[in-house]
Structure 1
Amino acid sequence: MKTEDKILSALEEVIDPEVGVNIVDLGLIYDVTVNEMGKARIEMTLTVPECPLADQIVDNVKRVSAQTPGVKEVEVQLVWEPKWTPARMNDQAREEIRSRQTLMT
């Protein structure tokens, strides 16, 4: 398995606290690259630019990614284009959100 794929798998542990779903399933991760020196670069977005928990999410992304074998350094780049929309979520994220809404009613 490529290091980029291992990072993506590890990032499934990072939950967006406001939504309660992992950031990979939400479609917040746009790109993951790792160079030959072990520096990982993660391009991601948030559901809204003014997310009050942005620092917490980015810190969790860095922490989890840094634990991946072969990764020596992690850089997270927050981007706002293309803008995140619910269409970026996968079916699993949609189902989790639906289940949470059902439990709340």
Structure 2
Amino acid sequence: MEELSLRDQIEATLRTVYDPEIPVNIFELGLVYEIKIGENNRIGITMTLTAPGCPVAGDIIMEVDQKVRAIEGVSDVDVHLTFDPPWTKEMMSEEARLELGFM
């Protein structure tokens, strides 16, 4: 049961990280592919960016790392950046698509 609440905290935290070019958080944008909670609450996050050449890639990854690391009980954080599969607008939540007028 505790793992669910930690996952919920991680998801809520990821909803506070925004792509600077799009006014929607990275979770609703569908940029977070996977959240793994390992031994001793070591967190693994696999994510992507809207574009491989994103100039703020380092900033977004650093913000994800710092914010998730600050959650009580988290022992370590590994943020893995991937472009496979490449991000598409279809990965956004319905809410994000509505907000950005992609419906």
TM-score (norm: length of structure 1)? 0.87
Specify which of 6, 9, 12 is matched with residue 9 of structure 2: 6
Superposed CA RMSD in Å reads 1.1
Which residue identity is paired with 1:30? Y
Between the aligned partners of 2:39 and 2:5, the Cα distance in structure 1 is 12
Number of corresponding residues? 98
Between the aligned partners of 1:4 and 1:79, the Cα distance in structure 2 is 21
Question: Are 2:54 and 1:68 aligned?
Answer: no
Question: Are 2:75 and 1:94 aligned?
Answer: no
Between the aligned partners of 1:94 and 1:67, the Cα distance in structure 2 is 30
How is 1:32-47 mapped onto 2 (pairs within 5 angstroms)? Answer: 32-47=35-50
TM-score (norm: length of structure 2)? 0.89
- Shift in Å, 1:68: 1.6
Q: What is the aligned-residue identity percentage?
A: 39
The aligned counterpart of 1:77 is 80
5+ residue gaps, structure 1, are 99-105
* 4+ long deviations beyond 6 Å: none
5+ residue gaps, structure 2, are none
